[in-house]
Structure 1
């Protein structure tokens, strides 16, 4: 078995990193299914057995990558962090290319849109199901987002 690896965003150790396209697709399907369960039924409903059955993979196949329920939660959180941070990177680029009359409004609007559209993110954060690893990753994520705001302000010359 390979060493646990960390997904982008730093939150979720994977037991192994899928190497083949088929395995990566299987892991993506598992995480998409987990997100659907999270949105529909809440964080309490996320069990490895339920996720595996709904994703039409064996529990053993799920365990190859995600060793337990917490790893599923951490992997979902890592995906949300990555999306938020990619958005921030895009805003930094946009701030360098154009002048914003209301930088705070631009940032608030951009992230409010994500929070409105990412139902899984809201379900996870308001469902009281965060793991200690996810809480630690969230603290790191917040530091990266604060740095993103700093980069936006610098790009705008403020």
Structure 2
């Protein structure tokens, strides 16, 4: 898989509604097969058969299986971003505790809706392009949350973005452990993991960041 293709995810962006619907069918078919049979058994032929499209049509949009996986991950992480924005934006008072809990629970909602992501990311990290994309996505989440915390006066002076990046990576590892054997996730691991991240970040929070800050008139993370 070339670097140029990896950057786009989709080989040829669909313009017409019929083409967009076909791409959606391909992605949905791949998702179903990943959950049913895992990544090893997945192929462009099995995806095309499930989507009821000719293999040649699939190749108009995706060069290979890896591009389909990347497109799935991009779709799912976009939904995660929207869910986090909505969850944090709904808070009337934000603290380290409420922000971490809202963010991680928002991710959990999408993981339940998109179980193929769980299989791709936490059970099959051998795909370097997907790995690089998800690590970059984690860094962007951390940057957005750090900027928001700074703007709200929640971060102690001298706190650097790397602190939040580490917290995001720890949260990512928590979810990996929680979903290792169960596509619904182990609630004990998730709940304890949320407390773990909260405890770490509160060490770097201002008193207001711990007690809570009104967010009326404030925008949530970008």
TM-score scaled by length of structure 2? 0.60
Q: 1:68 aligns with which of 34, 40, 64?
A: 64
By how many angstroms is 1:89 displaced? 2.6
Matched, 1:99 2:85: no
Q: 2:128 aligns with which of 108, 125, 132?
A: 132
More displaced stretch, 55-64 vs 100-109 = 100-109
Structure 1 residues 150 and 91: CA distance shift in structure 2, 3 A: farther
By how many angstroms is 1:152 displaced? 4.2
CA RMSD of aligned residues (A): 2.2
**Larger RCO of the pair (alpha carbons < 8 Å, separation 6+):** 1
Is the 1:17–1:65 contact (alpha carbons within 8 Å) kept by the matching residues of 2?
yes
Task: List runs of 5+ in structure 1 lacking aligned partners.
Answer: none
Counterpart of 2:143?
147
Q: 1:111 aligns with which of 107, 130, 136?
A: 107
Is the 2:125–2:131 contact (alpha carbons within 8 Å) kept by the matching residues of 1?
no
More displaced stretch, 84-93 vs 48-57 = 84-93
By how many angstroms is 1:125 displaced? 1.7
Task: List runs of 5+ in structure 2 lacking aligned partners.
Answer: 155-222
Query: Take 2:9 and 2:111, find their aligned partners in 1: how far apart are those partners?
Result: 24
Higher radius of gyration, 1 or 2: 2
More displaced stretch, 21-30 vs 131-140 = 131-140
Query: Take 1:24 and 1:114, find their aligned partners in 2: how far apart are those partners?
Result: 22
Query: Take 2:55 and 2:35, find their aligned partners in 1: how far apart are those partners?
Result: 21
Counterpart of 2:81?
85
By how many angstroms is 1:117 displaced? 3.5
By how many angstroms is 1:106 displaced? 2.4
TM-score scaled by length of structure 1? 0.81
Query: Take 2:10 and 2:112, find their aligned partners in 1: how far apart are those partners?
Result: 28
